[in-house]
Chain A
Amino acid sequence: MLHVDMQSVNKWFDDLHVLRDITLEVERGERIVICGPSGSGKSTLIRCINGLESFESGRIVVDGIELTDDIKQIEHVRRGVGMVFQGFNLFPHLTVLENCTLAPIWVKKMPREAANDVAMDYLRRVRIPEQANRFPGQLSGGQQQRAAIARALCMNPRIILFDEPTSALDPEMITEVLDTMIHLAEAGMTMICVTHEMGFARQVANRIVFMDAGQIVEVNEPRAFFGAPRHPRTRAFLGQILDGRSARAAVGR
């Protein structure tokens, strides 16, 4: 059975048609990277998967549960789907540990000690156990994003969504977050990741989805995507961002 099944999904923001006929089928354990120019609808697409955005037509089934208008149904889906945001979105009034244990305690009704153990386990896995009792504001951006990943993992999700997880980070912190994500990928979780990190895409993705103007333009496995992009728009996009990268690298040198 498909893990995430999107069929002909359409979404409008007033007159703006932000998702056009999106059909995306993700197998269990698959790692999908979604890329595309800004405003192409990538974030909106993955925000539909856990019901943060509604859609006007089409059908989304996540882990066997169909997303409908029913909030109970949506909450049911969210319990099994973790999400990591561009802006971290940690809860600033709670410590890192409390950020991680909140949902296990209140949603899964886990005893506090057990939740603490689980949280510490994940904080060790993202290599910030020593930050457990500090507040998010006291952490660096990279540490905050890793804490946010740990928070998402504490609900033991079957699917994890990343919405440009490294875009708000300073360059030297991007690697530590990408490393964490690569570790996750190796653990076999279904991952859907919106990112501009093409190195990460090449290394981790099973398939790369290229979006433009609300449409899926091309879906391809990484080697073919980078080596022989089928669509001219893909080629143009890759040309731009790879040029940008090498230009920046050249300046850096």
Chain B
Amino acid sequence: MTALARLATLFRRAPMFRDRSNAIATALLGIAIAYAGFRFVEWGIVNAIWSLPQEAGSQACRATRGQGACWAVIAERFRFIVCGAYPFDQQWRPACACLLFLVLYVASTIRTLWNWRLLALWIALPAAAVTLLRGGLFGISYVPSEFWGGLPLTFLLSTVGFAAAFPFAVALALGRRAELPAVKGVCIAYIELVRGIPLVTFLFMASVMFPLFVPQGVTIDKLLRAQIAIVLVIAAYVAEVLRGGLQAVPKAQYEAAASIGLSYWPSTMLIVLPQALRVSIPALVNTFIAFFKDTSLVIAIGLFDLLGAAKAVIVDAKWVGFGVEVYLFTALVYFVFCYGVSQYSRTLEISKTL
């Protein structure tokens, strides 16, 4: 049998060609996908405009609208999308801040750092990134948080949000299982209340309502308020994830820990939590990915994260109408990070020696 004939047999036996209706459905879908793919390549690559001469208007792009993508908008407005309204001559700072977060993410995957060093990094690197963005120290100029934006803001809100929420979430999850009715009640009330209210509502409350309740003259930075709101919300969700993990630890483990004389805290920190965290990894990653994207809701209170900056680009008169390109680019950035995180978490689940 020739290789071609063998391939043909293989094809005929494949489930999608098993009977007539399957074969028809497969053929129709195949044609639809091929057509869509072809049109996308034609629009996105063949007819696309990748760059425009300096100081040129967007006429060339407008002329090909409908036939070709205008990636020139990304090329031209790249720094704005990534860095937001940050002062142009100072944009090395948000770039470095992004780099610090990337270093943090990569370092988190290195097993030999999984001890106090990683904890130190999770405190030091975000702090360094904030310092860098803020300035006013070491001879770099002060940039108020209204001007922060783009990718570093997305990294900041999600990373600090998750990191700060985590210890709080652990406390909530343990508190929910506490024997003291008061502790238990407070934790349940908090978790259920926060989970029952949309994140946007919290952001509005942080932005608009909160200033009404603090004495005059006291101002708390709007970004900080948004960050705190995000932390409080993430904590409730992570607490529920951890509760599931805690329930998965067999009773026998608690008994074994008790039988060698460990009291509540050592037994919780050394035996129960490490095992609970491990089974929680997929759900934790899911929560992280969800909030990595949900931080884009800060646009509602006038902060410009990655998506906010992208939106600001397409209201610019020069680039009005090129939303598809800008949104596709933003989607790609979000996807790269979320997909990376999810792939990494799969290797963790498979690993036996965690």
Q: List chain A positions with a Cβ less than 8 A from chain B.
A: 50-52, 71, 75, 78-79, 81-83, 85, 87, 89-93, 102-103, 106-107, 135, 137, 151-152, 155
Contact = CB atoms under 8 A, between A and B. Distances in A.
Contacts of A152: 259-260
B8 to A, nearest CB: 47
Contacts of B255: 52, 85, 89
Contact of A93 (B252, B256, B259, B275): B275
A75 B259 contact: no
Chain B interface main SS type? helix
Interface of B: 252-253, 255-263, 266, 270-271, 274-275, 278, 352-354
B253 A137 contact: no
Contacts, number: 60
Contacts of B270: 102, 106
Contacts of A71: 263
Given A89-B253, A91-B253, A151 B260 contact: yes
Given A89-B256, A107-B266, A135-B353, A78 B261 contact: yes
A87 B260 CA distance: 15
29 contacts: A50-B258, A71-B263, A75-B261, A75-B263, A78-B259, A78-B260, A81-B259, A83-B259, A85-B252, A85-B255, A85-B256, A85-B259, A89-B252, A91-B256, A91-B257, A91-B271, A91-B275, A93-B354, A102-B270, A102-B271, A103-B260, A103-B261, A103-B262, A106-B262, A107-B260, A107-B261, A152-B260, A155-B260, A155-B261
Given A85-B255, A137-B352, A102 B275 contact: no
A151 B352 CA distance: 22
A87 B252 contact: yes
A107 B354 CA distance: 24
B266 A93 contact: no
A83 B262 CA distance: 13
A52 B261 contact: no
Nearest to A79: B261
Given A93-B275, A93-B354, A135-B352, A102 B262 contact: yes
A81 B258 CA distance: 11
Given A52-B255, A85-B252, A89-B255, 14 more contacts: A71-B263, A75-B261, A75-B263, A79-B261, A85-B259, A87-B252, A89-B252, A89-B256, A91-B257, A93-B274, A102-B262, A103-B261, A152-B260, A155-B260
A192 B206 CA distance: 62
Contacts of B263: 71, 75
B48 to A, nearest CB: 51
A82 B274 contact: no
The 6 closest A-B pairs by CB, nearest first: A89-B256, A103-B260, A83-B259, A79-B261, A107-B261, A89-B252
B270 to A, nearest CB: 6
Nearest to A90: B256
A155 B271 CA distance: 17
Contacts of A106: 262, 266, 270
B259 to A, nearest CB: 4
Nearest to A81: B259
B81 to A, nearest CB: 43
A49 B343 CA distance: 48
Contact of B258 (A52, A91, A155): A52
A106 B265 CA distance: 11
For B258, B259, B353, the residue with the greatest tally of chain A CB atoms inside 10 Å of its CB is B259
Contacts of B252: 85, 87, 89
A27 B270 CA distance: 35
A51 B258 CA distance: 9
Contacts of B257: 91
Nearest to A154: B260
Nearest to B252: A89
A93 B261 contact: no
A91 B268 CA distance: 12
Contacts of A103: 260-262
A90 B278 CA distance: 16
Nearest to B269: A106
A84 B270 CA distance: 20
Contacts of B271: 91, 102
